[in-house]
Amino acid sequence: MELNENARVDTSQVDDRRGSGGGGGMGIPIPIGGGRGGIVGIIIAVVVALVGGGFGLNAATGGGGSEQGDNTSLEQKCSAQDALEQLDCRNTLYVNSIQAYWRTAMPEAFGEQYRPSKTVFFSQNVSTACGAADSGVGPFYCPADDQVYIDLTFYRLLADQLGAEGEFAQPYVLAHEYGHHVQNLLGTEAQMRRQQQRDPQSANALSVKLELQADCYAGAWAKNATGTADDRGQKIFKSITEQDISQAIDAAEKIGDDAIQKRSGRPVNPDEFTHGTSEQRKQWFTKGYTTGDPKSCDTFGAGV
Ligand SMILES: [Zn+2]
């Protein structure tokens, strides 16, 4: 994968709440690299990683999410010459690409306007309209305030603890979360929650369909990503290779429900699946990627 160094990083699409200027040495609350207690934290983090909604946040603190970050230092950093060497600037550019894709793809595929959604960069914990969350829940989308939340240190965990290495795992994660945003805009998410209430027994199966659809949407973005441009018409990616796509597929496999259960030493129990197996996640990402068409992502009609 090669990003275009002439592409402008549009930081207005993110909200930097990491606390600029202060708080040096802030780590994530779950030990990385090894304390014994760490494993559980990591497993929990990953189980709920890439979840959109239902991520076990404390809704009692609802009404949050009005907090605003300060993008000043991010803006400076991302307009500098070496911007693309910075993790946060690259991730901002991935967000730009994903949203540029949906601005065109959503009206084309579904006849609906796309409404942009910000990605909030946070450190350790954050208050959202879905309640308070900490890094342990992994990246997530909050339908109530229409925003994606990520502590960027999650990627270290993904690489170090789960072996999903490779840069392209990062835009995959973001594209999956934006897939949930699209589901929210289309009403798929609300419809699925109502179905879950009517039929609690199939709540997990319905959640799997929602998650696999978000993977498929991520694949559709990946296929079309090289066609996305910044607001001045500069291409965002110079190239995306088959190896990048394999990295995304690899990440999708590493976070399959069965893979997570095996890693945690538990017997594999399909009744507990909420995101889909490694095979399913791989399959649906690949479907989106090969068709390049979000309409092909009908996991609800496909009896998965
Ligand atoms: Zn998800």
pLDDT of residue 165: 87
Its pTM stands at 0.86
Distance between Cα 6 and ligand 1 center (Å): 32
Residue 28 confidence (pLDDT) above 50: no
pLDDT in tens, 218-268: 999 999 999 999 999 999 999 999 999 999 999 998 888 888 888 888 888
pLDDT, tens digit, 9 for 90 and up, residues 94-116: 999 999 999 999 999 999 999 99
pLDDT score, position 66:
55
- Each residue of 49-58: pLDDT tens digit? 444 433 333 3
Handedness of CA 44, 47, 53, 56 (dihedral sign): negative
CB 274 within 8 A of CB 196: no
Tokens 């996305």 belong to residue? 228
Mean pLDDT of the chain: 86
Task: Judge whether residue 22 has pLDDT over 50.
Answer: no
Ligand 1 mean position to 31 CA, how many Å? 23
Distance 11 CA to ligand 1 centre (A): 24
pLDDT value at 37 more than 90: no
Instruction: Report CA(22)–ligand 1 centroid distance (Å).
Output: 31
Contact 200, 280 (CB under 8 A): no
Distances from the Cα of 213 to the Cα of 49, 131, 133, 139, 160, angstroms: 16, 25, 24, 17, 27
Ligand 1 center to residue 54 CA distance, Å? 10
Task: Report how far residue 213's alpha carbon sits from residue 77's, in angstroms, rounded to the nearest whole number.
Answer: 35
For ligand 1, a single-atom ion, the residues with CB < 5 A are 50-52, 211, 214
Q: How confident is the model at residue 280 (pLDDT cuts 50, 70, 90)?
A: very high
Residue with token string 């779950």: 30
Distance (Å) from CA 177 to ligand 1 centroid:
6
Tell how far the Cα of 141 is from the centroid of ligand 1, in angstroms: 8
Q: From the CA of 38, how far away is ligand 1's center (Å)?
A: 23
Q: How far is the CA of 298 from the centre of ligand 1 (A)?
A: 16
Ligand 1 mean position, distance from CA 51 (Å): 3
C-alpha 286/C-alpha 280 separation (Å) is: 10
